Every structure is written in structure tokens, then in C-alpha cells.
Amino acid sequence: MRITGEGIWGPPDDPEEATRLLRRVVELGIDLIDTADSYGPEVSENLVAEALLPYPDELVIATKGGLRRTGPGGWPHDARPERLKECCEGSLRRLRLERIDLYQLHAPDPKVPYEDSIGALKELQNEGKIRHVGVSNVSMEQLEQARAIVDVVSVQNRYSLTERHSEDVLEACERAGIAFIPWFPLATGRLAEPGGVLDDLARAHDATPAQIALAWLLARSRVMLPIPGTSSIEHLDENVAATRIELSPSEVQEIGSASAGVTDAR
């Protein structure tokens, strides 16, 4: 998402830096890249292909369809079955793939029956154009609806220390062994301010508050797969280093308790 221009619109200011960033992702052993046709639009998928072809065998490319773009701030829904099939075909061309490993419905479309949108992804799977199906921005009811139609392997909802409204969805994913992919995972609010719990623990672990926030997410659940976006190799390296931080059970509880009731103002 962050390798595009300002407002997730148009090309990045420095395409060569975006290419270096993507190649650094693979160097670090990261084996899943999450993108979408609406990032740019189309810019992110094109950059992924240009930077990483031929793809390493172990690399999973996940993309999404179901949103249109009308400008830097415009993200209208369009998850009509025929539109989703067009989106998938476009992603296959741009990513230069014969089959997409993980294709996700970007968001439910209030103008389209949810079962119809999910049914289109099931048809694409049956045709061999996608391997696995994921959903995004869903409620418990929508997750159950989707699972009644297709095998759902991942859920991508907004979730962080300051945005915990998807706790019930996360718990359902834990029970079912479904990957939970939190977007905007680094929201920390006042927890990262001087004297806040993240600030204190960051100094104790010789880390940054953002790294502690990521470490907490990883400790929170075995199905958690954070996707912190970045346009900087420095920040990418910092994010990956968070996987080496081991929080004690008491620290995990302390962070969770401190974040209860803290709401992200974004």
C-alpha cells in the first residue's frame, strides 16, 4: 500500500527505492506480500511484479478486489460478481501469475448481497484462478456467511492496541485456525507517549514503541499475521526486528490492560 504515491494514488516519488524495498522484503525471509488492485490503483501490483519476477517458490502474493478509486481520498465499493471477476483477471495480468495464491474480498459492498460477492470468489477458485480465499473488513456474521460458501483461510480486519473491535472475529479465527491479518497494526495512541507503557517497555527491551506494539500483536495470538506498511527500508528492518522481541506473559498482560479503553483517534 505504501509503495504508491501520496494518498495511495499514482506512482511513488522514487520507484527505484520502492523496488529496493520489495527486494529487501524477500532478502529478509518474508514470504507473504499483501497488495490490492486499488493501491495506486494498479501501481502496487505492477511494482511487485517488476521487482520480484521470477518469484521465489516460497513467496505468497496476496491481493484484493472489490474497491474502486476515484482519487486520493476515494474508495467506493464495487463488489458485484462481474466486477470481482474483472478485478481478478486484471490482477493476474499485472502480477503475471497463472493463479493467485490468496485473493481477498477487500470489503463487503452494501449494495451487493454478500453471498453473491463471496460466490464469485468461489467460482474463481473453481476455475483455478485463485488458490485460497480471504475476506476483509468483516463482522462475525459476515465471516460465518462466507465460510458457509467457501473455505476462508484468512481475515484482514483493522486491529491494533487502540482498535480492538474485532476481538470476536480474532477469537473465531483462533478456533478455526484461520489467519488473522490486522491492518493498520501500529496505532498506539498515548500508549507510546513518554511515560506510557510502550515507552517504558521499549526502553527495557532496547526497542521502539512500535516494535513493542508489533511484539504484543505476535504474542496475542498464534494466528496473528501483522502487515505494517512502509515505504522505507529502515522501517522495514525495524519492523522485522520486532519478531525477535520476547515479551513475558506479565508484559503482554500489562500492555493489554493499559490499552483497554484507549481509542485510536484516526
**Residues annotated as part of the active site:** 39
How many C-beta atoms lie closer than 10 Å to residue 246's C-beta? 10
Rounded to whole angstroms, what are the CA distances from 92 to 138, 159, 221? 25, 29, 32
Spatial separation of the C-alpha atoms in residues 102 and 23, rounded to whole Å = 20
The residues, ordered by sequence, that sit 6+ positions from 65 with a Cβ below 8 Å of its Cβ are: 36, 37, 38, 79, 83, 84, 87, 88, 91, 103, 104, 105, 106
Containing 175, the helix (H) or strand (E) segment is: helix 167-176
| Region label for 9, one of left (φ > 0), alpha (ψ between -120 and 50) or beta (otherwise) | beta
Spatial separation of the C-alpha atoms in residues 125 and 100, rounded to whole Å = 9
Residue 61 corresponds to which cell in the numbers above?
A: 502474493
Rounded to whole angstroms, what are the CA distances from 131 to 27, 80, 96, 150, 156? 25, 20, 15, 12, 17
